[in-house]
């Protein structure tokens, strides 16, 4: 029992917490529609009440007016004072069906009460209040209506200011007087309630209708979203096929974005599959070779042949190990989550160290490895980078050059001129250029981007120039590309035009001449040996504080 409860609680809790955190689209739409609707309804109700009261007041004020006029007609001058023969009908008119309490008073020009059942104030003098209404009644006088609180009761007061008729010298002619009548508001309130309840029913009906329409409308409007959700949920989890369902325009954009994402994922997957295919192919070939050599050697009785086979196997194995390590570093470089931090380092020292490490090997292979550092940045070419990656990149480039039949490989370090150079774009001004030039066959301009892909063999179309045995796995440039991306550096592949380069880089004339001569010496004259220059444009950085300097330079 307890366990069941617990599990239930455990199930419920996260769901409630998520619902608390995120507002549903449905609720958001509903509240945006219903809150204004509510406000509008309230405004309508208030307005309906006010207009109902206004209408009731207007209807009943006509009674007050009729009563006032009826009384006014009966006012005359008699026995030396104002005289009123109060018509009972005038008061009965005021009482209405609601049996209101009625009050009247007749006041003369001096404000003295002539007759009446109470002393009422003058609505004209009180007319500044909120519920006053005044009308000019032409010659018959001034008519005013007003709500008053009279000795604990709410009354509607009407007053009529007028004067006696007649003409002549008699002073009583034209005597001013004021008639005031008042009654309780019960009839008005009953009429107001009646009118108001009518509009209340109408407004309530409209509100219910609007509520239903909004509820249904929001549900219908959101149904494509639910369809989309279902379509996504019901897909085969391994499928990357584009979504095909008709949606409203707003959701169509979402679907298209999703489809673009899926297309990208399909391309990525194709690349990965090809990479894996290539890698396994690359690994299988030397392993098959190893197996073939071993088999051949086993059939042979001659120890010398065994020795030769073992030598051959050793070379193949080391080649395979090199391939595996390249694959590993490429995988590491392409993994965005394990990228080592970049620290300030000095490039000229790094270049010298690289050259000295590779010099012997190249020399043995008959390749002339050189180093060219622009004097103005010698020992001051600081940049943010990872030393082993840059060294690896340079090593790959040097390797590539060697493998593709270069005789002269030059490692260069220079800086883009800050001003006046038309060829380099503004964004690269002041950057450090770490480059490797060779006098190999070079790459056609339209294929330069392709060679950055893993396992792309740029040499295939002119394979006769590149001996298969010396061919690399095709990973070197891909690795360099990864390193460049990690260093926010720009990678360019260009022809290693020694002559033009000689103009920009002082002190390289001799090498350039040699390159050209060496190229012709190899005897491949039918193919233009344009050479290749791979350049990394690195962002310079200020040198670190002096105490760090030694540690870095040592590294």
Partner 1 sequence: MLATRGRRARSRTRRSSLLLPVLLLPSLLLTQVASAADTYPGFDPQSDEHQTLWLRNGQPLKRLDTTADSMRDGTATDANVSHRADLEIHAALDLPEIRPLLVRYSRKHPDLLMHYVNRSALSLEATYLKAPLKTRADLMISSAMGLQYRLANQGHARALDTPNLLAWPDNSRWRNELYAMSFEPIVMVARRDAMQRLADLDGLRNPRDVLRSHRDLWHLLETRRDVLRGRIITYDPRASGSGFTYAVSDARQSPRYWTLVRAMGQADARLVNTTGAMLEALAEGKVDIAYNLVGPYAVTFARTHPELEVIVPEDYVLIQRRLAFVPRQAPHPEAGEAFLDWWLSSEGQQRVANESELGALHPEVRGEGSAHDLRERLGDALRPIDIGPGLLATLDRLKQASFLSRWTLEFQAPPPVIQEK
Beta carbons within 10 angstroms of residue 343's beta carbon = 16
CB 183, min distance to partner 1, A:
9
Provide, rounded to whole angstroms, the least separation between the CB of residue 98 and partner 1.
9
500 makes contact with partner 1 (CB under 8 A)? no
- 132-151 positions binding partner 1, by CB under 8 A: 151
Stretch of 57-65, 73-81, 451-459, 518-526 lying at the interface with partner 1 (CB under 8 A):
73-81
Among 12, 81, 520, 527, interactor with partner 1 by CB under 8 A: 81
For residue 434, the tally of other CB atoms under 10 A from its CB is 29
Torsion of CA 60, 65, 70, 73, to 10 degrees: 180
What is the C-alpha separation between 406 and 498, in angstroms, rounded?
Answer: 14
Residue with smaller CB distance to partner 1, 75 or 496: 75
Q: Which residues of 367-384 are buried (b: 16+ CB within 10 A; e: fewer)?
A: bbbbbbbbeebeeebbbe
The answer to the question of residue 279 lying near partner 1 (CB under 8 A) is no
Site for partner 1 in 151-210 (CB under 8 A): 151-153
- Which of 119, 357 has the CB closer to partner 1? 119
User: Among residues 74 and 492, whose Cβ is nearest to partner 1?
Assistant: 74
| Interaction between residue 69 and partner 1 (CB under 8 A) | no
Closest separation between CB of residue 35 and partner 1, Å?
41
Q: Does 542 bind partner 1 (CB under 8 A)?
A: no
91 binds partner 1 (CB under 8 A): yes
Distance CA 324, CA 283 (A): 8
**Of 8, 13, 73, 85, the one binding partner 1 by CB under 8 A:** 85
83 part of the interface to partner 1, by CB under 8 A: yes
Q: Which stretch binds partner 1 (CB under 8 A): 76-84, 261-269, 422-430, 454-462?
A: 76-84
Q: How many residues contact partner 1, by CB under 8 A?
A: 30
Which two tokens mark 414?
Answer: 């220079």
In terms of Cα–Cα distance, which of 437, 428, 406, 392 is closest to 535?
A: 437
d(CA 174, CA 531): 125
The continuous run of DSSP H or E covering 507 comes out as none
Instruction: Report d(CA 112, CA 314) in Å as an integer.
Output: 136
Smallest distance, partner 1 to C-beta of residue 116, A? 8
Shortest Å, Cβ 198 to partner 1: 25
Non-local (6+) Cβ contacts of 7 within 8 A are none
Smallest separation, CB 140 to partner 1 (Å): 21
Q: What is the SS3 assignment for 455-488?
A: CCCCCCCCHHHCCHHHCCCCCHHHHHHHHHHHCC
Residue 22's H or E segment, with its range, is none
- In whole angstroms, the minimum distance from the beta carbon of 123 to partner 1 comes to 18
Q: Counting beta carbons within 10 angstroms of the beta carbon of residue 290, is it exposed (0 to 12), middle (13 to 18) or buried (19 or more)?
A: middle
Q: Which residue's CB is nearer to partner 1, number 99 or number 272?
A: 99
Does 280 sit near partner 1 (CB under 8 A)?
A: no
How far is the C-alpha of 106 from the C-alpha of 60, rounded, in Å?
Answer: 21
- Helix, strand or coil for residue 298? helix
User: 94-133 mask for partner 1 (x: CB under 8 A)?
Assistant: xx---x-xxxx-------xxxx-xxx--------------
| C-beta of 106 vs 347, nearer to partner 1 | 106
Residues that bind partner 1 (CB under 8 A): 79-81, 83-92, 94-95, 99, 101-104, 112-115, 117-119, 151-153
């Amino acid at each position: 029992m307890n366990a069941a409860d617990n599990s239930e609680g455990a199930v419920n809790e996260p769901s409630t917490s998520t619902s608390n955190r995120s507002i549903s689209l449905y609720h958001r739409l509903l509240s945006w529609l219903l809150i204004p609707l509510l406000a509008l309804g309230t405004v309508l109700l208030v307005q309906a009440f006010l207009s109902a009261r206004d209408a009731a007041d207007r209807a009943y004020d006509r009674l007050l007016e009729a009563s006032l006029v009826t009384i006014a007609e009966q006012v005359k001058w008699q026995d030396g004072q104002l005289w009123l023969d109060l018509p009972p009908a005038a008061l009965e008119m005021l009482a209405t069906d609601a049996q209101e309490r009625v009050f009247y008073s007749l006041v003369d020009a001096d404000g003295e009460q002539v007759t009446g059942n109470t002393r009422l104030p003058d609505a004209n003098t009180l007319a500044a209040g909120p519920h006053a209404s005044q009308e000019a009644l032409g010659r018959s006088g001034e008519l005013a209506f007003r709500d008053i609180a009279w000795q604990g009761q709410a009354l509607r007061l009407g007053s009529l200011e007028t004067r006696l008729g007649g003409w002549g010298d008699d002073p009583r002619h034209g005597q001013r007087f004021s008639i005031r009548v008042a009654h309780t508001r019960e009839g008005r309130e009953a009429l107001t309630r009646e009118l108001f309840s009518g509009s209340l029913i109408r407004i309530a009906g409209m509100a219910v209708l609007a509520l239903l329409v909004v509820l249904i409308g929001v549900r219908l409007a959101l149904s494509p979203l639910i369809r989309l959700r279902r379509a996504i949920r019901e897909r085969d989890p391994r499928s990357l096929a584009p979504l095909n369902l008709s949606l409203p325009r707003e959701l169509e954009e979402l679907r298209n974005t999703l489809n673009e994402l899926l297309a990208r994922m399909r391309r990525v997957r194709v690349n990965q599959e090809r990479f894996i295919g290539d890698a396994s192919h690359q690994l299988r070939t030397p392993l098959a070779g190893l197996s073939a050599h071993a088999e051949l050697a086993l059939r042979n009785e001659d120890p010398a042949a065994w020795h030769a086979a073992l030598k051959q196997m050793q070379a193949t194995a080391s080649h395979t190990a090199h391939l595996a390590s390249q694959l590993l570093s490429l995988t590491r470089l392409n993994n965005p989550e394990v990228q080592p931090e970049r620290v300030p380092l000095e490039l000229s020292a790094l270049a010298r160290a690289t050259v000295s490490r590779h010099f012997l090997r190249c020399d043995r292979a008959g390749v002339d490895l050189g180093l060219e550092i622009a004097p103005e940045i010698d020992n001051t070419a600081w940049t943010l980078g990872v030393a082993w990656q840059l060294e690896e990149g340079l090593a790959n480039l040097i390797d590539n050059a060697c493998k593709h039949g270069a005789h002269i490989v030059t490692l260069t370090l220079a800086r883009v001129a800050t001003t006046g150079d038309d060829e380099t774009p503004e964004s690269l001004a002041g950057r450090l250029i770490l480059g490797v030039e060779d006098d190999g066959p070079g790459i056609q301009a339209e294929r330069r981007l392709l060679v950055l892909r893993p396992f792309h063999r740029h040499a295939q179309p002119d394979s006769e120039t590149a001996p298969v045995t010396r061919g690399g796995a095709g990973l070197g440039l891909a690795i360099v590309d990864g390193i460049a991306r990690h260093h926010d550096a720009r990678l360019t592949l260009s022809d290693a035009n020694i002559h033009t380069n000689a103009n920009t880089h002082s002190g390289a004339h001799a090498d350039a001449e040699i390159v050209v001569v060496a190229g012709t010496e190899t005897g491949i004259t039918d193919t233009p040996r344009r050479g290749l220059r791979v350049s990394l444009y690195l962002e310079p950085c200020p040198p670190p504080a002096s105490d760090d300097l030694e540690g870095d330079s040592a590294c």
